[in-house]
């Protein structure tokens, strides 16, 4: 599990986020109606950045938890720890988010152990409460609290499926890679690369995404394009940059890598 | 495991519950005869709300435990915890419910570890007692105590089946989605949406429930209809609302989602 | 694991038990000869009640342990627990039963972890002793001590088989549902229902037991009949009572439930 | 794991043991030559009793450990335990046996966890030493110390095989049920039943052992005959005694039980 | 997990590293752009040595962690340990590397438990932060900090694949064995063997690498050649040296070993 | 795990070891060149005795660890243990061997958990260091330190294979049973049996080793011959001795045992 907290009041400069559809409206309606929200979409399609953006927009602190196969309810809610001669209760990120009326973002929620999800049930329905069994404390979420979860439904070989009964507890939106002009704008903006070269990278990504190569578990994300753009902007030849930032991260298979490099060569 | 407690005496405003059959009579007979009750039915069919309603009706406190694959007997009955320099016994929710003569609601009981169920055996038969091994204490349930359990028998891919020898310890009732007029009443009441639009949503649900689509692990619950209704009431266009609140929560499969969206389009 | 203790001296009113064969004689011979006894039979066939009856008859305290997949030797024999600033040894139910020369009843013994059984070996043969490794204490069972175990050999899908080398340590008896007149007597007596209606319920049970329906993991136990009888005695219509107390506990399958309800309808 | 210790000096009356072959000579040669001994044979063939007998004959204390699937090296060698405010080292049975130069009998050794066996390796070869890692103590076994292990090679469905490299560390002997006249002598002696009736029981056992019934995991051991003999001696009719003490312990299958009962009927 | 730390300031003599392609440029660009780097390649292809070289070149301390199947996030980030009467927080290697702005090298990353990788996510993207849940401390990586990971994609029978979503977080480079003249230079330099004999060993390696023998899980690494060269330099006959340092480490199969020895014989 | 330590300075009388090939030269070259050594070979082929011999020859202390499936890095490197009111660090055998510049012998290394091997990596390459994560201590191995590992590659049904990347870290040698005259010398010397009778036993072993019987997991080791020789020397008839010391330890299968006994009968 990986947790990070962002305090909306500490004056971080605004996070760059490029709107794609009605995602901001739906998010705000969910926030108003006290409905939890589930974001579905592939790696690097902007789910996390969207949530960070909404936290800034709503001026609310954000707690982010990245789940993995060992994430358990105790990690989320809290535990007693021994300090010196005493045991002290330590809030987990969910508890902290509830106390502060923050946004709580549970990333890769499908990978967590089942008790993780179940521990959040009472926060997803009309109760909006969290009972901390170990301390006997019952918390009621402030009106500003909102739970957002995310996962990648297309991920091959996923160990644990999100249960249907859990999915039904959330309003959901699907994320995908943005359309060509928007993606070019994002790549250029984040890497400081010239728009024309950024457009070349996005065209390359389109070609690879259309490959439909069964050996590829995932395809080129916007993140990979930004990495390549940064290396090119730094002075690395485009083909070397694409090899390191796009081809090698996508595959370990020599044939697939050769095929991808051919596409790179045609593009530059 | 997720636990919440509701104190019947704290003056919560009554929970809205719409009676469907003879469920209240059977519940009361079980309560009088000291028989435990098992509720079977799909996600969102109102089992939990029914139990909350009965707790208010009988003016008894309610302890709710949502089980998951890691829920064990210790979680239910209690444990010694270290506080400062001392070990203190901490009652689990079952023990608390027995001491107070409360209603004890064990939700998703089939998902718990087997010792969870077995730890409740002596509360389900003529003994009505709980022996806390760790403290040596023997509790006898007051006359008002009643154990209610629930699970979803149609849930696909369930890891653990409830054992026959356990099922035979309970009187049982099956829950299903309510009939059209009742469901409309529920949706309208909970979302504050106009009855006519609520009826449209219920008709849509009927169509989807009749689909018999093998790709759907579960079908539209009343809860999903209420979510959609809330978003529509808030101003989101009905098709966007149904996409986020009904279609996306039901499936990650593009073909199935297109089919569901077609039905939505025909309905609005 | 579920433990309960009954003190024979506390003046509980006698438990109702209806003798079926030579089970009392065999039990008493085993008690005299210091032979452990194994009871085999389906859910609700009266094994536990028989043991409770024998405890009263022999005027001996009874320790009952219901095993499950997590039951281990430590649960049975005892453990050190931390209390305040000290560790204190806490006898488990087996140790207590040996110290007091009580009857020790290990129910669902086949489900326990293997060390559970092995921990009892020295109590089942000529040694009749228990060595508590953690404390170094060696206990010799008083003459009144007797070990009784039970399991359901017909239980489908059992995870763990009782080992042959363990079975050979016990004298064994098979239990089955009692014959028609005896079962009627039991149902009437326990539910206070009129004998005639009780007989109808027993006839219904016979029909269902003869069904030989592969979808039924277990069939109607006497316990289910008593539950139905109680609900009828309370005023619930017989068909509703049979649905809740017999049909629903036996199956989650709609076709099987319809078939069972048809039999119910023919009976009332 | 089940441990018991017998102090040779406490004046237990001699254990009855009937010699069958050269087992006593081989045992004594192993004792003299500091070779460990492995006893192989079915349940109830007298391995444990033989070891108890040798302990009395050699006037040495005996430590017996019955292994199961959870038995680990720590259980055998010892552990630190917390007592009051201190941690105290507590010898396990192996350590105690080495310190006292006792006989150490590891029963059902094939069922123990692999570290159990490996923890004994340095005691089985020329080193004859035990290094207690946790305390840093190195023990050298006195000349009188001897390690005896036992297992049942014919046991079906055994989870763990004894490794070849372990078997090669032991001198080995196979045990089987004794011949007819010897077995009769044993049954009569242990049950106090008349020799003629004991002979009938042994004849019955021969018939059942020749059955070669695939449904029987194990066949009639001498122990079962002794149990039946005790019940008959107590006054139970022979057929009832054989049903409870021989047929029911051997099988849960109705057809096999009927076949076995037919043989019983022919015998009495 | 195996951890070692090298302090760049302690004046270790420079590590010998022979550049092969543009790996130094790519590494430095990643360092400047705050992009994490993933090295892919077979055992003994110089990945670890390259990282040690870069640490010296950049004059930065290096923390190396070799992962295995049990490596968890706690091992990397830190834990509370009890010292005397107090609990003290102890930084793990990741935390130390972040605090010091060091290079952090996670070797065999694909073998670690999934939480290991996820615990590093916030260090691999724009956040470059590490939130230590247990202490509530949030660390921001200094500009000099860089994360390098490595694994062997061709390793047969690997238990855990590195997830696509993780790979996409890194810029990547593939390592392979160096070309003939460079490998000869390396072998001679590291073993002090004459260049001519080193060349013979490299030629032998080429032949074995071309074998394409399915029985060989891995082929001759440069490391094996250096070992053989050292033994020859020490006076062992070349064929004995190659048998011990090349043939036996590559296979346990007699036929394959004979085939490899034939190639050795032809080479010397 | 089984650990024993031999202090070279305590004046143990020399261990008998009969050289077979160039194993002593290779061992000494590895010791001089700081290369770790891996010994491969079947049970009882003299690997352990060879290492003990080299420890005496080099006048170095020897730490032996016998691994099993539960052996972990913590067992090897050390742990904090609670003593009275304090936690004390306790070196494991690897740490002790590094501190003292001893020989460290890891027997049955392929059976250890993977972290065991990985924890030794930094001791097998140019670093020759051990970083103790828990204490933050970094140890550099003295020049006399050497790591020797051993395993049996022919062992059937081995749960864990030694990884190729681990094998490549070691210089390796294969051990096999010695030739006839040498083996006779060993058997006679260790058992004090007359050379002629020892020769008969060795001839018997040759015959059994040539059997190529698929039912035999392992064949006759020199150890078994020595055991048989000791029993014969003690006065047991040769056929009884061979049955107990050779045939029974090799197989539990009646047909195979009969075949082996026939060979024994032909030999004596």
Q: What is the pLDDT of residues E73-131, one digit of tens each?
A: 888 888 776 665 666 788 889 999 999 999 999 988 888 876 677 788 889 988 898 98
Contact with chain E for residue F169, Cβ under 8 A? yes
As a whole number of angstroms, the distance between CA E22 and CA F250 comes to: 60
As a whole number of angstroms, the distance between CA B139 and CA C259 comes to: 41
- How high is the pLDDT of residue F123? 92
Name F21's Cβ contacts closer than 8 Å, sequence gap at least 6.
Answer: none
Query: Taking CB atoms and an 8 Å limit, are B171 and C244 in contact across chains?
Result: yes
As a whole number of angstroms, the distance between CA A261 and CA A243 comes to: 7
Mean pLDDT value across residues D156-167: 65
Q: Would you say C247 and C260 are in contact if contact means Cβ atoms under 8 Å apart?
A: yes
3-state secondary structure of A122: helix
Name F195's Cβ contacts closer than 8 Å, sequence gap at least 6.
Answer: F184, F185, F188
- How high is the pLDDT of residue E252? 86
Summarised one tens digit per residue, pLDDT across range E172-231 is 999 988 889 999 999 999 899 999 999 999 999 999 988 877 677 778 889 899 999 999
Phi, psi of F47 (to 5 degrees): -60, -50
Contact with chain B for residue A95, Cβ under 8 A? no
Contact with chain A for residue E170, Cβ under 8 A? yes
- F156: confidence class by pLDDT, cuts 50, 70, 90: very low
User: What secondary structure letter does DSSP report for D112?
Assistant: S
- How high is the pLDDT of residue D85? 61
Taking contacts as CB-CB distances below 8 angstroms, the residues of chain E near A227 are: 35, 171
Query: Helices (DSSP H) in D101-194: which residue ranges?
Result: 114-118, 121-124, 164-167, 180-191
- Compare all CA atoms of chain B with the CA of C67 and give the residue at the minimum distance: B118
Q: Would you say B95 and B78 are in contact if contact means Cβ atoms under 8 Å apart?
A: yes
Provide the CA F148 distance to its chain's centre, in angstroms.
10
Partner C, chain B 3-62, Cβ-Cβ below 8 Å = 22, 25-26, 29, 32-33, 35, 38, 40
As a whole number of angstroms, the distance between CA D106 and CA D84 comes to: 32
Token digits of residue B197 = 């639009």
Token digits of residue E80 = 């509370």
- B50: confidence class by pLDDT, cuts 50, 70, 90: very high
Q: Which of C234, A174, B208, F167 is nearest to E44 (CA)?
A: F167
pLDDT greater than 60 at residue F3? no
- B170: confidence class by pLDDT, cuts 50, 70, 90: very high
- How high is the pLDDT of residue A8? 39
Q: Which of D204, D210, D111 is nearest to D159 (CA)?
A: D111
Chains A and E touch (3+ CB pairs under 8 A): yes
Taking contacts as CB-CB distances below 8 angstroms, the residues of chain E near F147 are: none
As a whole number of angstroms, the distance between CA C24 and CA E19 comes to: 89
Beta strands in chain A (DSSP E): 2-6, 37-40, 62-66, 78-83, 86-91, 103-107, 129-132, 137-140, 146-151, 171-174
In the sheet that holds B171-174, the strands lie side by side as B2-6, B62-66, B103-107, B146-151, B37-40, B171-174
- How high is the pLDDT of residue F155? 58
- F78: confidence class by pLDDT, cuts 50, 70, 90: confident
Summarised one tens digit per residue, pLDDT across range C22-50 is 899 999 999 999 999 999 988 778 898 89
As a whole number of angstroms, the distance between CA D125 and CA D115 comes to: 17
Strands F129-132 vs F137-140: parallel, antiparallel or unpaired: antiparallel
Instruction: Provide DSSP, C1-66.
Output: -EEEEE-GGG-PPPPP----SSHHHHHHHHHHHT--EEEE--TTSSHHHHHHHHHHHTT--EEEEE
Number of neighbouring beta carbons within 10 Å of residue A211: 15
Among the listed ranges A69-73, B129-133, D41-45, F13-17, which one has the minimum average pLDDT value? F13-17
CA-angle at E46, arms to F168 and E221, nearest 5° = 35
- How high is the pLDDT of residue E156? 46
Taking contacts as CB-CB distances below 8 angstroms, the residues of chain A near E24 are: none
As a whole number of angstroms, the distance between CA B54 and CA A93 comes to: 34
Q: Would you say E73 and E89 are in contact if contact means Cβ atoms under 8 Å apart?
A: no
Query: Taking CB atoms and an 8 Å limit, are C38 and D235 in contact across chains?
Result: no
Taking contacts as CB-CB distances below 8 angstroms, the residues of chain F near E1 are: 73, 115, 118-119, 133
Q: Would you say A150 and A106 are in contact if contact means Cβ atoms under 8 Å apart?
A: yes
Mean pLDDT value across residues F118-136: 83
- In DSSP terms, E89 is beta-bridged to E80
- How high is the pLDDT of residue A56? 94
pLDDT greater than 60 at residue D11? no
Q: Would you say B97 and B63 are in contact if contact means Cβ atoms under 8 Å apart?
A: yes
Query: Taking CB atoms and an 8 Å limit, are E71 and F165 in contact across chains?
Result: no
Q: Would you say F5 and F64 are in contact if contact means Cβ atoms under 8 Å apart?
A: yes
Chains C and B touch (3+ CB pairs under 8 A): yes
- In DSSP terms, C90 is beta-bridged to C79
The residue length of chain B stands at: 268
pLDDT greater than 50 at residue E8? no
Q: Select the more confidently predicted residue: E169 or A163.
A: E169
Query: Taking CB atoms and an 8 Å limit, are F248 and D153 in contact across chains?
Result: no
H helix or E strand, kind and range, residue F230: helix F222-234
Query: Helices (DSSP H) in chain D: which residue ranges?
Result: 23-33, 47-57, 73-77, 93-100, 114-118, 121-124, 164-167, 180-191, 195-209, 222-234, 238-242, 248-250, 254-267
Q: What is the nearest CA distance from A78 to chain E, expressed in angstroms?
A: 10
Partner B, chain A 198-257, Cβ-Cβ below 8 Å = none
Phi, psi of C62 (to 5 degrees): -125, 130
Q: Which of F189, A167, E86, C137 is nearest to B155 (CA)?
A: A167
Number of neighbouring beta carbons within 10 Å of residue B20: 17
As a whole number of angstroms, the distance between CA A213 and CA A263 comes to: 13
* Percent of chain D whose predicted confidence (pLDDT) is above 70: 87
As a whole number of angstroms, the distance between CA E206 and CA E180 comes to: 8
Q: Select the more confidently predicted residue: D91 or A218.
A: D91
* Torsion sign, CA atoms E93, E98, E100, E103: positive
Q: Would you say D228 and C21 are in contact if contact means Cβ atoms under 8 Å apart?
A: no
Distances (CA, A) of B139 to B130, C48, C86, E84, F138: 5, 20, 26, 41, 56
- Considering only the beta carbons, identify the residue of B1, B218, B252 that sits closest to A118: B1
Q: Which of A2, A1, A3, A29 is nearest to A173 (CA)?
A: A29
Give the residue from E83, E191, E252, E254 with the most F CB atoms within 10 Å of its CB, the best one to mutate.
Answer: E252
Q: E97: number of CA atoms within 13 Å, CB side?
A: 30
Query: Taking CB atoms and an 8 Å limit, are F118 and E67 in contact across chains?
Result: yes
Q: What is the mean pLDDT of chain B?
A: 84
- How high is the pLDDT of residue D12? 45
- C76: confidence class by pLDDT, cuts 50, 70, 90: confident
Q: Would you say F63 and F105 are in contact if contact means Cβ atoms under 8 Å apart?
A: yes
Summarised one tens digit per residue, pLDDT across range F157-180 is 444 567 777 888 899 999 988 889
- How high is the pLDDT of residue E193? 95
Phi, psi of C43 (to 5 degrees): -50, 130
CA-angle at D112, arms to D108 and D115, nearest 5° = 140
Q: What is the nearest CA distance from D33 to chain C, expressed in angstroms?
A: 31
- Compare all CA atoms of chain E with the CA of F31 and give the residue at the minimum distance: E231
- In DSSP terms, C63 is beta-bridged to C5, C104
Chains D and C touch (3+ CB pairs under 8 A): yes
pLDDT greater than 60 at residue B23? yes
Taking contacts as CB-CB distances below 8 angstroms, the residues of chain E near A90 are: 134, 136
Neighbours of chain B (3+ CB pairs under 8 A): A, C
Taking contacts as CB-CB distances below 8 angstroms, the residues of chain A near E80 are: 81-82
Dihedral of the CA atoms D161, D162, D163, D165 (nearest 10)? Answer: -160
Q: What is the nearest CA distance from A3 to chain B, expressed in angstroms?
A: 22
Neighbours of chain C (3+ CB pairs under 8 A): B, D
């Amino acid at each position: 599990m990986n947790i990070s907290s962002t305090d909306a009041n500490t004056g971080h400069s605004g996070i760059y986020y490029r709107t794609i559809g009605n995602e901001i409206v739906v998010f705000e309606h969910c926030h108003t109606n006290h409905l939890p929200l589930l974001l579905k979409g592939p790696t690097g399609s902007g789910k996390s950045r969207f949530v960070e953006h909404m936290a800034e927009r709503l001026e609310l602190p954000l707690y982010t938890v990245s789940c993995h196969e060992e994430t358990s309810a105790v990690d989320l809610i809290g535990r007693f720890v021994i300090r010196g001669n005493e045991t002290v209760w330590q809030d987990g990120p969910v508890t902290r988010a509830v106390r502060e009326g923050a946004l709580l973002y549970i990333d890769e929620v499908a990978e967590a152990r089942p008790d993780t999800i179940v521990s959040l049930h009472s926060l997803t329905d009309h109760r909006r409460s969290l009972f901390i069994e170990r301390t006997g404390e019952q918390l009621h979420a402030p009106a500003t609290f909102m739970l957002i979860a995310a996962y990648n439904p297309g991920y091959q070989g996923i160990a644990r499926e999100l249960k249907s009964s859990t999915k039904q507890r959330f309003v959901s939106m699907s994320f995908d890679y943005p359309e060509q002009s928007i993606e070019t704008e994002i790549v250029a903006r984040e890497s400081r690369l010239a728009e024309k070269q950024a457009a070349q990278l996005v065209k390359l990504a389109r070609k690879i995404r259309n490959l439909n190569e069964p050996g590829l578990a995932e395809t080129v994300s916007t993140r990979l394009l930004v990495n390549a753009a940064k290396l090119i902007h730094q002075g690395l030849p485009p083909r070397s940059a694409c090899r390191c930032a796009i081809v090698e991260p996508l595959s370990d298979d020599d044939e697939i890598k050769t095929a991808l490099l051919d596409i790179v060569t045609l593009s530059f």
